Amino acid sequence: MPTPALMARGNNMGRGPYEKSGILEDTALHPGHKVQERFEIYFPVDEVDTPDGKTAQVAEERSMDVTVQLWYKPFGNMQQAELWREWEQTISLDDKAKPTTYYSGNKE
């Protein structure tokens, strides 16, 4: 959303309408413009011993439930915020994975 300038001078934000004049920046979605956001969520990985005496890195948790929510925050926080969209899906490492052991490296 627009970050209003305080009395149209400098880089301080004005909060009350009586002190707002101008815009410092605007993070709003603008008409007709496509906005893309990319998120990366990592699985926890443990290092385990393998039967051949080496160590391997293994993700014991193989899936995660991902929820994406789009909130409208009229005051920039959760006060009177409205949930506009919600998307949920379970993402599994095994959906397209082939059996693989990833060794941690050669022991000396």
CA distance 16 to 36: 31
**Footprint of other proteins on this chain (CB under 8 A)?**
1-2, 4, 8, 14, 16-23, 26, 28-43, 45, 57, 59, 64, 66, 68, 70, 72-74, 82, 84-85, 87, 89, 91-93, 95-97, 100, 102, 104-105
Nearer to other proteins, 51 or 87 (CB): 87
CA distance 52 to 104: 13
Nearer to other proteins, 53 or 87 (CB): 87
User: Which one, of 38, 60, 56, lies nearest residue 47 by Cα?
Assistant: 56
